[in-house]
Amino acid sequence: MNFTLQGVDSQTAARAGVLETAHGTIETPIYMPVGTRASVKAIEQRELLELDAQIILGNTYHLYLKPGTAILQNAGGLHKFMNWPRPILTDSGGFQVFSLSELREISEEGATFKSHIDGTRHLFSPENVIDTQRLIGSDIMMAFDECPPHDADPDYLRKSHELTLRWAARCQNQFAKTSGVYGYEQSLFAITQGGTNEMLRAESTKRLVEMDFEGYAIGGLAVGEPAEEMYRMIEVSHPLLPANKPRYLMGVGTPENILNAIERGVDMFDCVIPTREGRNGRIYTRTGILNLRAAKYRDDFRPIDEGFDNYVCKNFSRAYIRHLLNVGEILGLQLCSLHNTSFFIWLTKTARAHILKGDFQTWKAEFFARYCHEQESDKR
């Protein structure tokens, strides 16, 4: 993997870079669509290519449970299994073990949990999570971390972050002892923890940076804390993270969150908002969010976002998509997921262009002037 900074904004910490992987190049800042279970929900792979999704996510926890590593290995890895030719990043499963599974027990060894699907018992350790990601064949693997709740007490937070550090070292060790199963190079990113405690966050970041990973995720945020605390943690991390390595803010977020984090030096984002909210008819446009299930769109024959360049806006009206959602047609879920994902990809791509052009802050202000105005008007 190779990361090159192409430009840094003169007024903010915003950066534009290029990340080269075995499956192709990723231009940062970037929004990465989430394909948890080997599918970005309700979107076809050829459509992701059409939207110019340069990288997608998979999830180690979900893929380990189904289809399981044996099938992924027989397929020749996740890229071949799902026929996705471009880069894939896999989360390590840490977050899912703590958010989805039952009866988890954490020990020095790892996390024992019961599957949310069938109740079977499993152990995730730093070593076997690396082995699983080797079999998945993701271009970017994540270290196994403990993700504490945002209201964890300071004692727990410290112990948890120290455990995550020891696990990160074991991940790095296992990563060094193994190699790609399918003949191409994989990379390993560390995940910083420490909640919203500045001292712990700084310590976590420094210690992981000393261990010299290929990239760094800022983890354990977007779990319920106020956005301002999240931004503060990014600001704490910024000077401590090496400028020449990519930075990934996990699970974030709204357009506001993403642009504010880009401004603070973040390069990579993933979030289920576009597909999850899309399935509920919450549609992101350049003039704000539309709740497309609302009756007022019944005979609104304008496109979702007039002039926006995608299949949905060029071909269908708000009234038609509202009808599809209203009667429960699957096509409604498809079109809303496709549009929202397209919008988020456009957002980071456009931010990138303005960073390189040198007017990121001006563009951001203009974007929000228009975005927020209409969003409020939709609430009336």
Residue 124 labelled as part of a binding site? no
Nearest approach, Cβ of 380 to a copy of itself (angstroms)?
Answer: 22
Is 91 catalytic? The answer is: yes
Which residues make Cβ contacts (< 8 Å) with residue 85, sequence separation at least 6? 23, 24, 49, 79
CB atoms within 10 A of CB 372: 15
d(CA 150, CA 222): 9
- The response to whether 92 counts as a known ligand-binding position is yes
Q: How far is the CB of 41 from a copy of itself (least distance, A)?
A: 6
- Binding status of residue 201 toward a copy of itself by CB under 8 A: no
Q: Please give the structure tokens belonging to residue 318.
A: 């708000």
Cβ distance to a copy of itself smaller for residue 238 or 323: 323
Least Å distance, CB 81 to a copy of itself, is 6
Catalytic residue among 9, 91, 139, 267: 91
Footprint (CB under 8 A) of a copy of itself, residues 241-300: 298-299
Residue 225's CB: how many other CB atoms inside 10 A?
Answer: 17
User: With respect to a copy of itself, which residue has the nearer C-beta, 253 or 278?
Assistant: 278
Catalytic site residue from 9, 139, 267, 270: 270
Nearest CB to a copy of itself, comparing residues 37 and 207: 37
Minimum CB distance to a copy of itself, residue 116 (Å): 12
Q: Supply 172's token pair.
A: 């790095």
Q: Check whether 95 is labelled as a binding-site residue.
A: yes
Give min distance, CB of 376 to a copy of itself, in A: 27
Interface of this chain with a copy of itself, residues 44 to 103, rule: CB under 8 A:
44-46, 62, 66-67, 70-71, 74-75, 81-83
Taking Cα atoms as reference points, which of 220, 222, 233 lies closest to residue 148?
220
Is 120 a binding residue for a copy of itself by CB under 8 A? The answer is no
* Contact of 201 with 233, CB cutoff 8 Å: yes
Distance CA 125, CA 133 (A): 12
Longest dimension (CA), the chain: 62
CB 125 within 8 A of CB 152: no
Task: Work out whether the CA dihedral 185, 23, 133, 255 comes out positive or negative.
Answer: positive
Residues 327-346 that bind a copy of itself (CB under 8 A): 327, 329-335
What is the 8-class DSSP label of residue 34?
B
Contact code string over 18-37 relative to a copy of itself, x by CB under 8 A: -------------------x
CA distance 18 to 13: 16
- CA-to-CA distance for 125 and 106, rounded, in angstroms? 10
Residues 6+ apart with CB under 8 A from 268: 26, 28, 29, 30, 32, 89, 246, 247, 248, 249
CB 201, CB 195: distance < 8 Å: yes
Q: For a copy of itself, which is the closer residue by CB, 85 or 154?
A: 85
* 240 lines the binding site for a copy of itself (CB under 8 A): no
The residues assigned a catalytic role are 91, 270
Q: Which residues are annotated as a binding site for substrate?
A: 91-95, 145, 193, 220
Q: Which residues are annotated as a binding site?
A: 91-95, 145, 193, 220
Binding site for a copy of itself (CB under 8 A): 37-39, 41-46, 62, 66-67, 70-71, 74-75, 81-83, 298-299, 301, 311, 315-317, 319-320, 323-324, 326-327, 329-335
